[in-house]
Every structure is written in C-alpha cells, then in structure tokens.
Amino acid sequence: MAPVEARALPDALEPLVEYFGAISGQHSDWDAYRAAMQRQGKALVRVSVERWGPVSRGGFPARLVSDS
C-alpha cells in the first residue's frame, strides 16, 4: 500500500499554501487564503503513488500502450 499522510489544522496550513502555490501559482492575499482555510476547517491528505496498473488497453490509442 502507498504511504498516506493526513494533516489537520494547524499542521495542514503551510502544506495547503504550498499545494495552492504549486497548482495555481501566487495568491493575491496569502493571509486571506490562510484565514479561509482555517475558517473552512480544511485538512490535507497526501497519497504517495508507488505504482499503478495494470493498464487496460480497451479504449487507449495503440500508440499510447506499451507492451512492456
């Protein structure tokens, strides 16, 4: 099973800022973002994917499916 990490506030606050920045770039007001995350009671769950599969070939273009 892949490692899973769950964080609740206040420990989740800075990782939520990092996540938003990685996905959407700069926020116009980081303090307001942090306040909104706290007000909404947000949490963060990270799942580290180690592998996936098997890949179904149905519906995939042949050029995207490797035989290995």
Regarding predicted confidence, which is higher, 57 or 26?
26
- Average of per-residue pLDDT across 12-24: 95
Domain ranges of the chain: 4-51
Least-confidence region, from 9-18, 27-36, 49-58: 49-58
3-state secondary structure 12-53: CHHHHHHHHHHHHCCCCCHHHHHHHHHHCCCCEEEECCCCCC
| pLDDT exceeds cutoff 90 at 55 | no
- Average of per-residue pLDDT across 38-43: 98
- Average of per-residue pLDDT across 48-67: 69
pTM of the model: 0.68
